[in-house]
Structure formats: structure tokens, C-alpha cells
Amino acid sequence: MTGLSGVSGALTIVLGGIGALFFFAGTLGMLRLPDFFCRTHAATKCDTVGAGSVLIALAIFNGFEVSTIKIVILAALILLSSPTSGHALARAAHRTGLRPWTARGDERGVTPR
């Protein structure tokens, strides 16, 4: 926890604000979008950009220390694993026969909420 100069503090606040905005957009899409595939679209974006940007902000704030390496490893893990799990979920749902929602009508019997 070093004393922060102006640039690193401003970068931390800006990147953290961007991450919070993306997390809010992801939550909104998670609650409001009509279908699983649409929700995957919102959720994966929220995870990668939001969490990646907040973790990079915290790594910049932390400065040159040992724990910064762990934060960078965490950011890399999130950036790799979140799109992979989203794609695996969407592929499993598509291959086992979940039909995408269409605006004209619901053909499969699961009512979108």
C-alpha cells in the first residue's frame, strides 16, 4: 500500500468506475433480457470487461509488490475462464435442444420471463 501519486489514483478511479458500470449493465441484462442466449450475451460481457477492468485498476493501485502478481494472475484467469464457461454453457444448451427466443412467438413451451 504505497502512497499514491495523482496518476495512479486517477487511473484506479476511472477503471473502477468503468468496471462498476459494466457490472451494472450485466446485472440489468441478467434480470431483464428475455432468453438464456441473450442473458449469456450480457453476462459474459459483464464478467470479462467488468472484472478485468476492476482487477487491473487494483493492480495499478497496489504498485510494485508481490501481491500484484497474484492480482494479475487472477485477471488473466478471469479473462480466460469467463468466456470459456459462457461458451460451454451456450453450446450445451444449444446441442441439447433449447430453442432461441424469437419475437414472433414462443414455440417450445418455456415462457420467457
Partner 1 sequence: MDGFFWGLAIFLLVNAFACLWRAYAGPTIVDRLLAVNIVGTKTLVVLVLLTLVFGRALFLDIALVYGLLNFVVTIVATRFLETGRLKGDW
Instruction: Please report, as ranges, the residues that interact with partner 1 according to CB under 8 A.
Output: 1, 4, 9, 12-13, 16, 19-20, 23-24, 26-27, 30-31, 36, 39-40, 43, 46-47, 50-51, 54-55, 58, 61-62, 66-67, 70-71, 73-74, 77-78, 81-82, 84-86, 88-89, 91-93, 95-99, 108-113
Query: Judged by CB, which is closer to partner 1: 72, or 103?
Result: 72
- 48: which DSSP letter? I
**Cell numbers standing for residue 109:** 413451451
Least spacing, CB of residue 84 vs partner 1, in Å: 7
**Pure H helices in the chain:** 6-32, 36-45, 52-62, 66-95
Cα 86-101-49 angle, rounded to 5 deg: 30
